[in-house]
Structure 1
Amino acid sequence: MAAKTPTYPDLGKLARDLFKRGYHPGIWQIDCKTLTNSGIEFFTTGFASQDNSKVSGSLQSKYKIEDHGLTLTERWNTDNWLFGEIMQRDKLAQGLMLAVEAKFQPGSNEADGKFKMGYAQDNFNFLADIGLNSEPILNCSLVVGHKEFLGGVGTEFDVGNTELKGWKVALGWTNETATLHGELKNGDTWLASLFYKASEKIDAGVEVTKGAGGGGEAEGEQQGGDMVVNLGMIYHLEEDALIRAKVNNLVELGLGYEQKLREGITASISAVLDCNNFKDGNHRFGVGIALQC
């Protein structure tokens, strides 16, 4: 195979990123990533909503103990949640990942946890996690690859009530320039996407989604399960700048510009415009700054 088989959440990621990554409508965002001399990686992110002036953010630290294959991750957010994860990879067996994660809110004493396991080889990738609480939910997914073809299945199972809560299946095809992805969830929600690298400067994609009757949470998705068609592209102006654009059948137009100002500093601006009502529509604008040192 040309590449290692991806996990189920990464299926269709190239097309999905065309419509999500780099757009931050309605918020001001700043990200900062740094690595200390002792090998501890810090990542800080902050958001300020333009609608209600709410400010939120998080601080994460990550430390790798290479000799034992361990990664220790801690995170705190402005809702006063504390998160921790201990993960070991490729030590007990090549391709095996084991992890335990937990979260705790001191103010309410609310706590939860999860055990995760993954096992990956060149032609398959298996993921599973189960909640460490009184009503555990077991999530499992498997992706199998053969040459340029990918197939995946995922389930969500309520262990306490012995009930299947959800399922999904996916099929895909990929090569060096194109990725085709299709997914069906619970028999009433489906998605199809195509990512195509037209040239060194142009990435293009199309995504078609059909939600369940109750509507969905994705941006631009209509209530009642109507079909949404998205077209998107990225044009690399030069090594340090790019333009993003997307449009859907709801006549929502997204535009974005990203510029590397200097080594370690990248700025981006974006907008999502309601072209159905250009004068009084719900137009949203966003600005992002990413710092790395």
Structure 2
Amino acid sequence: MSVFEYLFGVDYKVYIVDFYQSLKFPRVLAVITQETLPCLREDGSLGQKIVCKNEYGERVECPSQENEYGGENGTENEMAPPFYADLGKKANDVFSKGYHFGVFKLDLKTKSESGVEFSSGIVSNQESGKVFGSLSSKYSVKEYGLTFTEKWNTDNTLATDITIQDKIAAGMKVTLEGTFAPQTGSKTGKLKTSFANDTVAVNTNLDLDMAGPIVDVAAVLKYQGWLAGTNAQFDTQKGKISKNNFAFGYHTSDFALHTNVDNGKDFGGSIYQKVSDKIDCGVSMKWSAGSSDTLFGVGAKFALDQDASLHAKINNKSLIGLGYQQRLRPGVTLTLSAAIDGQNFNAGGHKVGIAFDLEP
């Protein structure tokens, strides 16, 4: 015990610390640098993530800072923009995911100890009675950025994909696809490339047809949440542009607006809103020039809990879609679907569907 503590009965160390903190001297922070690295999102698209390192080059937790757009460390706005085909995806998922009308479906995914991923599926169509099955295997060599995929289906079509990613350049992906039908001898080939960074996402598809390839090019620009995209297709055999599409939209973490014009005559738009942690809503509209027929739909998804969700949608033709998803156990998901024709309710023609997803 010190003399100061003996005479006054207090711990002088505590007072010194409190006095120092009350002065509020500026804190000396360690030097932290940020760099953007490409990453793969859950939906398979290419994105980017921010990694922070200290002065020794070791990865550390990024300091939490609110940027002017409301995202922490700018991750929401610094993520790469979606590719043209993925514009309006959030709203489209509200209308498409959780529904399997008129089919019985079974999907199985598994992975071997050597790292080979296997996917198989079978779909039975209630109206046509046709049963379609598929089997695919996927193997990745991560150190070389290579992915090999083999596919086969009951139409007796074989397909092979070879992909190299982030090796030619950061954010760049190159895929060579080939299909072969032994019964007819038909062969096809495609060369696909894609590149994405913080502000632009570009992808090209080249049909390897010696008679005259079809070149498809798409690009999306992003600025502070605003998106502008274009998609053009050129038929070298016919020597003309066969596709000329434009899109415009706005995207945040809980809101997405998308409009598009296809070939100057087909117009579309969608709105996505995440109302709460449990409710997702979507609005979709389509219209073609020279036609008075407009398709308008509203859809919603409601999460009952972490294992169950309800899906519902309706359009201006009184077609009602209902879906229920339940995770029975980890890796096993059951989906029940029903399509109801509200204009001809008593006439029948309604559809039901059942789907099982099995994944370890």
- Shared topology, TM-score over 0.5? yes
1:165 aligns with 2:242: yes
Aligned residues: 283
Report whether the alignment pairs 1:248 with 2:315. Answer: yes
Residue 58 of structure 1 is aligned with which of 112, 123, 134? 134
Q: Any idea what SS the aligned residue of 2:304 has?
A: strand
Partners of 1:269 and 1:212 in 2: how far apart?
Answer: 37
Which residue in 1 is equivalent to 2:97?
21
1:113 pairs, out of 160, 180, 189, with 189
Q: Which of 142, 150, 157 is 2:227 aligned to?
A: 150
Name which of 33, 42, 61 aligns with 2:118: 42
Gap change, CA 1:13 and 1:225, over 3 Å in 2: farther
* In structure 1, distance between residues paired with 2:349 and 2:289: 25
Mapped to 2, the partners of 1:232 and 1:2 lie a distance apart of 29
Match of 1:125 among 189, 201, 206: 201
Moved more, 2-11 or 124-133: 2-11
Give me the identity figure in percent: 37
Tell whether 2:165 aligns with 1:89. Answer: yes
Higher helix share: 2
In the TM superposition, 1:182-201 aligns within 5 A as 182-201=259-278
Moved more, 45-54 or 178-187: 45-54
Distance 1:41 1:7 in 2: 26
Structure 2 match to 1:229: 296
In the alignment, which residue of structure 2 is the partner of 1:263? 330
Query: Are 2:78 and 2:198, in contact at CA under 8 Å, matched by a contact in 1?
Result: no
Q: Distance in 2 between matches of 1:85 and 1:211?
A: 36
**How far apart, CA to CA, are the structure 1 residues paired with 2:128 and 2:185?**
28
CA deviation after TM superposition for structure 1 residue 212, in Å: 5.8
The SS at the match of 2:95 is helix
Task: State the structure with bigger RCO (CA 8 A, min sep 6), 1 or 2.
Answer: 1
Q: Distance in 2 between matches of 1:155 and 1:124?
A: 16
Q: Could you say which structure has the larger radius of gyration?
A: 2
> Deviating runs (4+, > 4 A) in structure 1?
none
How has the CA–CA distance of structure 1 residues 225 and 141 changed in structure 2, closer, same or farther, with 3 Å as cutoff? farther
CA RMSD of aligned residues (A): 1.1
- How big is each residue's C-alpha offset from its partner over 1:194-241, in whole Å with a ceiling of 9 and x where there is no partner? 00000001000100011466xxxxxxxxxx572100100000001100
Does the CA contact (< 8 Å) of 1:235 and 1:243 recur in 2? yes
| CA contact 1:208–1:227 (8 Å) conserved in 2 | yes
Structure 2, unpaired ranges of 5+: 1-76
Separation (CA, whole Å) in 2 of partners of 1:13 and 1:256: 19
Amino acid corresponding to residue 172 of structure 1 in structure 2 = G
- Describe the shift of the 1:78–1:211 C-alpha distance in structure 2 as closer, same or farther (beyond 3 A): farther
Supply the AA of the counterpart residue of 2:293: D
Which AA in structure 2 matches 1:35? K
Q: Secondary structure at the match of 1:238?
A: coil
Aligned residues of 1:230 and 1:249 also touching (Cα < 8 A): yes
Distance (Å, rounded) in 2 between the aligned partners of 1:175 and 1:117: 27
Could you list the runs of 5+ residues in structure 1 that have no partner in the other structure? Answer: 214-223
Is the 1:275–1:281 contact (alpha carbons within 8 Å) kept by the matching residues of 2?
A: no
Q: 1:211 to 1:46 in 2, by over 3 A?
A: farther
Q: Show the counterpart of 2:342.
A: 275
